[in-house]
Chains A and B, each alone.
Chain A
Amino acid sequence: MAVTLNRNDGTVNFVFEGRMDTIKCMSAEKDVVENINENDQVVFDLKEVDYIASSFLRLCGRASNTVGVENFSVINVSPSVKKVFKIAGLANRLNIK
């Protein structure tokens, strides 16, 4: 798997690492899609991530569409990655911490 997954009481926690470039996002997308359903709470943990490609933004969009915006959050974002969400106009639409 491209990401580490922890499932606990209906919360699915995906822990990403390093540079989330286009290729890495493609394989991560498969893991995310296969492991979430509409009743889940989904958390993307970016503690170890220093770069995200456009595909990662799309992956966030896809996950939040599946479970609903209120059940999706992105946590532990670094300032540089946070800026990406800000500039892309997603910081207010998604739950970014």
Chain B
Amino acid sequence: MPDIGTIFRVGETLKRAIQADAVFRQSDQEHVDRIVRSVYRTVMNNRIKFAKMAVEETGLGRWEDKVLKTVVASQFVYEYIKDRKTVGVVSDDVEKGITEIAHPIGTVLGIVSKTDPIASAVFKIIIAMKTRNPIIIASDPKAVKTTEAVCDLCYEAALKEDAPEDCIQCFYDTSTDEFENLIADKRLNLIIAAGDGAVKENNNVKAPVIGSGSGNVPVYIAEDIDPDFVAKQIIDSKVFDQGVMNSSEQAVVINKNITKQFKTAIEKKGGHFVTEKEKKMLIDYVLEKGDKVNKDITGQSPQIIAANSGFKVPETTKLLIVPLKGVGSEYPLSEKVLAPLIAFYEVEDFHEAINVCIDLNYYEGIGHTVCIYSNDHDKIKKFAMEMNAGRVIVNSPSSMGAVGGIYNLLPPSFSLACGAVGKTITMDNVSIKHLINLQRISRRRINQRLRDFDRKMYIDESKNIDEIERLFNKNY
């Protein structure tokens, strides 16, 4: 039974958000755009301070990379949304007689993980402000200081442009019940979840949920591509922020006849293929806390991971590469590992490659992201059609490729939805369109064919579908 203090704190937070919702609905587009601009500029001015604070507090990732993530979450997102209409009439089709009016959806709860406390919070705040929705940011217990600092500064920036009071609030767990009570409250209108299933698998949640899933990203390297180019892309991507992004590469699947070239290329760039002995030590360390991958490994450098496992790698090592023969619980390193460590599979041909990628994709990664390096368009399409993934990243780093805005024209987003299989209704990169309700004024436009059709035919048992169809489609 939750205590009264807990209920009071959740209730008070929601009460404030609901009032902010009411007030926010009066804002016009110009006002909203001023608020968003103020928030984004404040974040950009504090990007380095926030990044260093996050690494210091969580001990995860690299501050330089967190800066880039913050830039994408603020500047790139701002550039993408700044000229889009999110208030009032957003489209008016005179011919069809349909006018679309954007309304806010109401109180949004944004869950923020410890691996992305800045970018994830900033992104959710900016899209919520653009769509006139108050947002409550729920911080991971291990990133409270950073998340709170981000929320506070964003809120101050919003208030400078006369945003509604309490339009941005930060919520963090002070007891085990609080978070559970918050996500189960029926007054929430939408939850934007983070990677794991804490929200999506909770049967008490009443609000609709969108947001990202777990991800276990396979990368298929076809034989028609330059292995040097691919090696650089994979190193850059998997090393980015020490591999903490759910969209980062988890396994390389490569044709045998280019393996040698690829190995040489990636070793030159800092890849270290572990020996059988090192692999055994690595698995022992990774599994020391049970059947699942030890989360202490998350966001750590290859040197620390190796040292904790009981072996050493040179300072120049950027990525640990683990050759594996299969996928599943018997091969613990085929599971998602948010660290600079990647599985490696050699295959005979495209057919075998697709099968391995399907195994990886369906091993806790469905709905998220897959990656392919090839110039063969048919192969790319065939690969995509076999994968259950919202994003198929081609010839680019998957970690930031999936986020959008850098290597492709996907909407920049730090909430990569995984579709119905991931317990959300969309597979999109979540953005402003998911945070508005579109109301449609539908003016009278009579269906011409129905008007000219003798409706009595519908209730005449002697008329079959062939005759009905012929007369319905008659065009004299």
Interface residues, chain A, CB within 8 Å of chain B?
21-22, 51-55, 57, 80-81, 83-89
Main DSSP-derived SS at the B contact region: helix
In the complex with contacts A22-B162, A22-B165, A51-B18 CB distance below 8 A: no
Alpha-carbon distance between A58 and B26 when the two chains are bound, in angstroms: 17
Contacts of B164 in A (CB 8 A): 53-54
CB-defined interface of B1-29 with A at 8 Å, one 1/0 digit per residue? 00000000000000100111111011000
Contact A51 to B26, CB < 8 A, known contacts A21-B162, A22-B162, A22-B165: yes
Minimum distance in angstroms from A25 CB to a CB of chain B: 10
Q: For residue A22, which residues in chain B have a CB less than 8 angstroms away from its CB?
A: 159, 162, 165
B18 touches which one: A21, A52, A88 (CB < 8 A)?
A: A88
Instruction: Point out the residues of chain A lying under 8 angstroms from B21, CB to CB.
Output: 87-88
Are A86 and B22 in contact, with the CB atoms below 8 A?
yes
Q: Is the CB–CB distance between B19 and A57 below 8 Å?
A: yes
Structural contact, A87 and B25, CB atoms closer than 8 A: yes
Known: A54-B165, A88-B18. 17 other contacts (CB 8 A): A21-B162, A22-B159, A22-B165, A51-B26, A52-B23, A52-B26, A53-B23, A57-B19, A57-B22, A57-B23, A83-B22, A83-B25, A84-B22, A84-B23, A85-B22, A87-B18, A88-B23
6 interchain pairs (CB within 8 A)? A22-B165, A52-B23, A52-B26, A53-B162, A54-B20, A87-B25
Is B428 located at the chain interface by the 8 A CB criterion?
no
Instruction: Please tell me the number of chain B residues within 8 Å of chain A, measured between CB atoms.
Output: 14
User: Taking each of B20, B22, B25, B166, which has the highest tally of chain A beta carbons within 10 Å of its own beta carbon?
Assistant: B22
B22→A88 contact, CB < 8 A: yes
**A55 lies within 8 A of B18 (CB):** no
B106 CB, nearest partner CB in chain A, Å: 8
Nearest to B15 among chain A residues (CB) is A89
Q: Please give, as numbers and ranges, the residues of chain A lying within 8 Å of B22 by CB-CB distance.
A: 57, 83-88
